[in-house]
Each structure stands twice: as C-alpha cells, then as structure tokens.
Amino acid sequence: MAIIKCKNVFKDYKVGHIVVHALKDINVEFKKGEFSAIVGPSGSGKSTLLNIIGCLDKATKGEVILNDIPIKDQDKNVLADIRRDHLGFVFQTFNLIPVLTAFENVNFVLSLKKDSSAEENRKKTLKILEEVGLKGLENRRPLDLSGGQQQRVAIARALVKEPALVLADEPTANLDSHTGSEIMQLMKDLNKKKSITFIFSTHDKMVMEHARRIINLRDGMIKNGKGGK
Amino acid sequence: MRNIIILAFKNLARHKKRTIITSVAISFGIMLLIWIHGMLKWADNESQRNLKRYEFGNFTISTKAYKEDRDSFPVDMVINGSEIQKIFRIAEKTGSYASPRTGFKSMMSYKRGFGLPYIVFAIDPEKDAQVFNIKEKIMDGQYLDKNSEGILISAHCRKELGAGLGDYLVMETRTKYDTFQALTIKVVGIYDCPDPVVNRNHLFITRNMAEKNLQLEGTAAEIAFRTKNGNNEPALSLVKESLSSAGLTGLTTETWQELGSDYLTLSQTKKGGSTMIIFFIFIIVAVGIINTMLMAVFERIREIGMLRALGVRDRDIVSSFIVEAAGIGILGSLIGLILGIGVSAYSVYHGLDFTSSFKDMDYGYRTGTIFYNEWNPEMMAMAVIFGILCSVLVSIIPARKAVKMEITDSIRYI
C-alpha cells in the first residue's frame, strides 16, 4: 500500500524575473515500511521534493496524496494537523528547542496531540529515548549534548508519535562519518522494528549505501535509481 | 496550549538580561506614570482646595454690578451695611461662616523704592479667619485684630519690597469717591500662603481701618461663605432662596468653580498634558517590547519553522509570542508598581521641593513649590493593566511576522 503518491508534480520558483523549474513531472510512490533515499547533486530538487511530500511546500502542478489524503489544496491549518498526525521530520541542523531538555523536546510533539494522557506521553517519551540510546540523558538540554546525541533526540522526536512517514533532509550532513553511520544504522533499525516509512535526502555515498531504494534526481527529474518503482 | 505557554515562559528565561532590560524599561514607564499621575492629582486637588481656602471660600455674594466688573475691584458697587447684616443672618441660618471683604488696587512702596501694584483686602479678621486660612499661615509677627492699624503682607511681598516686620509701607490708592489717598502702614504680620496668586498679589488690612481712610462706610464688595460640610450644597441653594425672600434681588452668588474658572479651564488643558505623558510612556513600553520581540522572532526564525513543521498551528505560535510579551509586561509592570509606590510614598510624606526651579514661575497650579503626591489605587491598577495590555498589543506585530515566512524558508534561515 502506498503511503505517498506523487503524480505529475511540478514545482516552479520565481527568482527575481527568472522562473526556476525545480521539479518537472515527478511521478513516484513510497510504500509502507520503505527506507528510501532521494539523491542528487545540489540544486537537483531533492529538498524541494521532500518539502512537498512533507506538506511544507505546495506543488505548482500535479497531485500529492498522503495516506489517501490529497494535500494540494488543503488549508494551512489542515496541513499543520496532517504534519502533526502523519509526519515526522529530521533536519540537517537538528533544530531542537534549546530551552527544553531532551525529554521535553520529544514530549512536546506528543503534547500537541490531545488523544493521550500526560502519563502515557511521559512513558512513550522515555521509551523512545531509551530506544535511540539516550537513557540517562533525558534531562540534558541540546547544548549539553553532542551532535550525534542531538540528532538522536531529533529522531526520537520524529518517531515518538508513530507517524506514517519520517522525512529526513540530509540527516548526517552535520555529523562526522562515524556518527553519521551510527545515525543511519539507528534509523534503519527503527524502520525495521516499527515499519515506519523513511525517506531521506542525501548526496553522501555512505548514507546511500544504507538505503534500500534510491531515487536519483537530476535537474528536477527522476533519472534512474535502485529498487522499487 | 499549555505546552505553548510553558515554552513561552521558558523563552523568557532564555535571555535573562534582555528580559530584565526590557522589564526595567517598562517598569520605569509604569513608575513614572504612577508617580506623575499621583503628583498631578495632588496638584489639581490641592489647587482646588486652595481656591476655597485662600481666594473664594465655597461661594461669594456680591452685587450684580460688582460681578460684571470684578476684575477692576470697584469700591462703589458694593453691598451696604444693612444688607451685610441680613446676609450674616442668612449665613447663621444655613450653618455657614461669612466674611465681608473689600479688595482695592493699591501701589505699595517701601522707603524710596518704586511702588508695586497689589490688591489690598479690607477684612474683618475674626470673621475672615473662619472662612479663609491665612491666619494659619502667619510666619512672622501676628495676624490682624479688629482694631489693628497695621498691614499683613505676604512672604513674596516682603521679598519684592524688601520690607520686614515693623517696617512702614506707603499705600497709595483711591477712596470710594475716587480721591487719592496715601497711607503709611506698619507691617504687623507676614504670611506664607501655598496659593501663589494670593502670595504674590494679596495684602490685608482691617475693615475698620479701610472705612476710616477710604470712606467705605460699612460696605463690603463681597461676602465669602464657607460651608460647614465643605460642599457648596445645600447651603448655596438655601442662601439663594433666602436672598430672594429677603428682597435682596440686587445681589448675586458665584461659586468658587465660577470664580476660579480660569484655573479650572487650565486644569482641563493640563489633563490633556497628562494624556500626552501617558502616550509617551506608552511609546517607551511599546518600543521596548517591539524591540525585544522582534529580536526574539529574528533569532528564532528556524525554530519557528521547525515548530510549524512539527504541526504547531500559526495562531499557537503567535499566542506563544504574545504570552512571552505578556510575561515581560507583567514583570515590568509589577516592578514598576513597586517602584511607583516607593517613589509616591516618599512624595506623599516628604514632598519634592521644586522651589529653585519654580520660584518665580507661574506654573499654573495654585500650590506651593513643594509638590506632594496623592495615593491613587485606581491609577496604580490601571498602570499595571496598561503595562500588560501595551506589551500584549504591540507584540502582535512581531508575532505575526514570525509566521509570515514560508516554513521552508524559515527552516533554512541563517
């Protein structure tokens, strides 16, 4: 079953008087449990595609369907709810809230949903932090954690609400190769364990090696790749 | 929403110095607001009290002709002796004190100095002391008695003429029949009155002396009333009825509000000035908050983008900035309230001496140059609410800016 379907997706940007065609007729589907990489050089459109899939940006033309919900013409509040309920994000620069502890950063996303009690949220948060290897560091603030540990908090934050899809934009770009490899292995393990779909963008060969499917983007178009449709 | 509020308060502690500096700016504004408003309130109320205590009493009775020409202090449009007696009985009936007074223009000189213009009031010292408070303000010498042949001058007049207690002044004036009269009068007392109009212009002699030398013949230009309850009513209505029933139709009454309308008009204008002060304080608060919140928005653009990516709605992000601004507003307003109470307390009990600045200046208020404060709890509450509301209102602009940017641009913002 496809978690996300992109049909004839185009994205144009206006830079001054020049129109830049960032995506050109993208047709792609991602199934539940996939661990996929969107790869390509800088400016190939991988972040743009990830943003459109993540309801952070809108396609100029074409259709994007997430969990059977067409997202193209949704109101910004509905899109916020879709992101809250169905999507998890891992950013290149971690983007944790510096005034909150690791526990509070993760728990924060659970508290946005009103369907579980504070106690349930607390248990879920502690569990996921343990799963990403941060047991004992729950009360540390981001500045007191290493880059790798911060990215683990970000992964825990993306996964704690058990989303349909986790989008990671160059998740290892700010980490050394050893830590980057550990982070990729962690995401891979969690993907396997929880059957949560992961899509990440990268141009790092080491990261690509972890992917089971690679979508190769060149000049806004899908060229070729490995695995899947 | 709870988590958004918690986040807002944690953000307050994020840049402690900045929060404190902004709060101090707000508290300074609120303190000024409380202090200045309390001082202006005191000055206004004190001026109104002084108009009654030293210039007009609660109301006066005079002839209609005198009322029309009051500013030139005529001594030929006066209340005659029998009418005065009737008015005394009316005063007794209404439980008020009444004091007959005749003011006339005089040139006063001392030794070979030039003559300076003053208004000299011929008073019945005993009765005048029941209506006016000059007697309580004697600083040197003594108050007049009924048969005194001397003059009571003000501290200001002493300074202007250079005459002291026991010195002789020459008073040049006109009698009721418009003939010149020059008298040499001994200074028997010096008063220092908080009403600058009285202090600068008014001197006092007895009616007995004035009658002998100015042919006043038992008349008075006006009779000032002081009511027992301190208010014009019900005495004023009773007096009006009694004047009418006694057939004194040539006489009329004027309240201290009518007589002091020049001051009261000025007071209204000064209230406009207070509004300007409040406006400037609003600017202090607004600039402080807008600056702080804009800095907060700009340095947290990526964080805002991330929060929106996580599914936090725009209105919740705007709310979190407003809560943060409200937090600064509450902190600043409460500190301002404490400082305002402290400064006001000092001014209430000790006053602030502006003598060196206001010495010879007409600053409009009928007060002395030591300015006190009046407690004003309503204004204090208003100031706190004003500080918080101001902070909340002006934070909406930067808060809305926070969610204006595209999420993708926010996340990539450097």
Residues 98-157 of A with CB under 8 A from B: 98-100, 108-109, 111-112, 157
Which candidate in A74, A84, A97, A104 is best for mutational testing of the B interface (most B CBs within 10 A)? A97
Do residue B312 and residue A84 have CB atoms under 8 angstroms apart? yes
Please identify which residue in the block is written with the tokens 């006043």. B216
Residue B253 lies in a domain: no
Residues B405, B286 share a domain: yes
Cα of first residue to Cα of last residue in chain A, in angstroms, is 13
B323 and B391, same domain (yes or no): yes
In Å, what is the CA distance from B299 to each residue of A106, A108, B296, B411?
A: 22, 21, 5, 12
Can you tell me the mean pLDDT for B232-244? 89
The verdict on a CB contact (< 8 Å) between A57 and B407 is yes
Q: How confident is the model at residue A225 (pLDDT cuts 50, 70, 90)?
A: low
Of B181, B208, B226, the one marking the end of a domain is B226
Residues B151 and B295 in one domain: no
State yes or no: cis peptide before B234, omega within 30 of 0.
Answer: yes
In this structure, the answer to whether residues B141 and B113 fall within a common structural domain is: yes
Residues of B in contact with A114 (CB under 8 A): none
Both B121 and B217 in a single domain? yes
Same-domain pairing of B33 and B63: no
Asked if the model's pLDDT at residue B51 lies above 60, the reply is yes
Range A13-38 average pLDDT: 91
Q: Are B290 and B396 in a shared domain? A: yes
Q: Which domains does chain A have, with CATH numbers?
A: 2-222 (3.40.50.300)
What is the rounded average pLDDT of the residues A38-64?
91
Q: Per the domain annotation, does B244 fall within a domain?
A: no
What are the tens digits of pLDDT across the range B319-358? 988 898 899 889 999 999 999 999 999 999 998 888 777 7
Nearest by CB to residue B313, choosing from A47, A56, A80, is A80
User: Is the CB of A80 less than 8 angstroms away from the CB of B314?
Assistant: yes
Q: Indicate whether B247 belongs to any domain.
A: no
Judged by average pLDDT, the poorest of A5-14, A139-148, B399-408 is B399-408
SS3 B407: helix
Scored b (16 or more CB within 10 A) or e, B196-219 reads: bbbbbbbbbbbbbbbbebbebeeb
Is position B33 within any domain?
Answer: yes
Per DSSP (E only), the strands in B337-402 are 352-353, 370-371
| B108, B13: one domain | no
Question: Is B156 in contact with B200 (CB distance < 8 Å)?
Answer: yes
**How far does B283 lie from chain A, in Å, by closest CA?**
30
From B226, B249, B277, the end of a domain falls on B226
Q: Is B249 inside any structural domain?
A: no
Buried b (16+ CB within 10 A) or exposed e, B65-92: ebbeebeebbbebbbeeebbebbeebbe
ipTM: 0.90
Instruction: Confirm whether B273 is domain-assigned.
Output: yes
Q: In angstroms, how far is CA B64 from the centroid of its own chain?
A: 30
* B123 shares a domain with B222: yes
Q: What is the pLDDT of residues B282-298, one digit of tens each?
A: 787 788 878 888 888 88
Q: Are β-strands B168-174 and B151-154 bridged in parallel, bridged antiparallel, or unpaired?
A: unpaired
B201 falls within a domain: yes
User: Under 8 Å CB-to-CB from B166, ≥6 apart: which residues?
Assistant: B141, B186, B187
Which domain does B283 fall in, by range? 2-52+263-412
User: Could you tell me if B36 and B174 lie in one domain?
Assistant: no
Contact between chains at B311 and A77 (C-beta distance less than 8 A): no
B250 is a domain residue:
no
The two three-digit tokens of residue B154, written as one number: 């003000």
Q: Within this chain, do residues B122 and B26 fall inside the same structural domain, yes or no?
A: no
Interface test with A, best of B406, B408, B413 (most A CBs within 10 A): B408
**The residue type at B224:** A
Instruction: Give yes or no: residues B216 and B335 share one domain.
Output: no
Question: Total structural domains in chain B?
Answer: 2
Closest CA in chain A for residue B2: A111
